[in-house]
Amino acid sequence: MLAAGALVRPPFIFFDLETTGLSGGAGTHAFLVGCGWFDDEGGFVTRQYVMTRYADERPLLGTVAGELARAGALVSFNGKSFDAPVLETRYLFHRLEWAGARLPHLDVLHPARAFWGDRSCSLGALEQQQLGARRAGDVPGCEIPARYFQFVRSGDARPLAAVLEHNRLDLLSLAGLAARLLRLVRAGAAASSDSREALALGRVYARAGLEARAYEAYECAVRTATASSGAIASDALRALACLSRRAKRYADAAEYWQQVLGLRGCPPSIAREASEALAIHHEHRVRDLAEAKRFALQSLENGMHTAWAEAGRHRLARIEKKIDRRLATGD
């Protein structure tokens, strides 16, 4: 799965925990481990493991390890930061092997931020925005530990019913978001709904070495960018310029840098990079020293850190010497 930024192959096991605390740490137990996967008919199967007594934690972990052992990759939401470390800690406590250590792990939160980061990236917000799903009567996450403690004290499992449903819906939403990301990557820029998605697709393709698809996605990001998404357009144009330069299409790269400078609200760092690139292009390739000087001056005007400013002043001085020499020789 390219969106993961690494080679991730099925079968995918989606997993989500409900825990006795929301901050993790050595004293936090995973009292509910939900697992999900797609079967051969395309249906989504969920299986949930509940720790009914603290003494049952070791056999629960052993059963979950068997479930994960058949996975080609794990898929979670914020699992790299929370779910996986909680499970690993509990496995280490019981001196059991943590199967997740040897498996690729796609944390959907990270590509979700890249594709939809201008919106809230909580699972609840994403399932509404991207999947059109709305929960009715869902138990708030902050209430879940208390419901488990109530069950342990009383033996009454009714407070856990809503927790099990919450966990099941989390797994469904996780699978839906992963499927949407996979569909976008497969379908390409034409399937993107806005410039942010197109830009994110371009970066995915570029990392994978799929340069033709990256060009297409970045161009789509530029075309679909609005006045309020100028930063996205500048990022896409910068990426196009860098791709063109690596392909030794220097004239194309210069054209993209020119477009960067024409953008309203272009971030100063990218404008400085564009001016610098154009100064180099006109000095060494076009050999238009007047234009090279203009862009060198412009790069200094955009502001630089000390090292960058020193390099810019050195470039300007070199260009001016070349101009003086040309005037002296009449070339």
Cα separation, 279 vs 285, in Å, equals 10
Largest CA distance in the chain: 97
- Locate 219 and state its tokens: 């161009």
Query: What is the mean pLDDT of the segment spanning 304-331?
Result: 78
Three-state DSSP class for residue 111: helix
The 10s digit of each residue's pLDDT in 266-295 is: 888 899 899 999 999 998 899 999 898 898
Q: What is the pLDDT of residue 3?
A: 55
Q: Are 104 and 6 in contact (CB under 8 A)?
A: yes
pLDDT tens column, 83-131: 999 999 999 999 999 988 889 999 999 999 999 986 678 898 999 999 9
CB 68 within 8 A of CB 96: no
**How is residue 121 written in tokens?**
């990236």
- Tens of pLDDT along 189-217? 999 989 999 999 999 999 989 999 999 99
The string of DSSP letters for 181-213 reads HHHHHHH-GGG-SSHHHHHHHHHHHHHTT-HHH
- How many Å apart are CA 313 and CA 289, to the nearest integer? 15
Cis before 140? omega within 30: no
Name the packing angle between helices 195-207 and 230-246 (round to 10°).
Answer: 30
Angstrom distance (rounded) from CA 57 to CA 61: 6
Average pLDDT, the chain: 90
Binned at pLDDT 50, 70 and 90, residue 229 comes out as: confident
Q: How far is 245 from 274, CA to CA, in rounded Å?
A: 12
CB atoms within 10 A of CB 44: 14
pLDDT of amino acid 308: 67
What is the chain's Cα-based Rg? 27
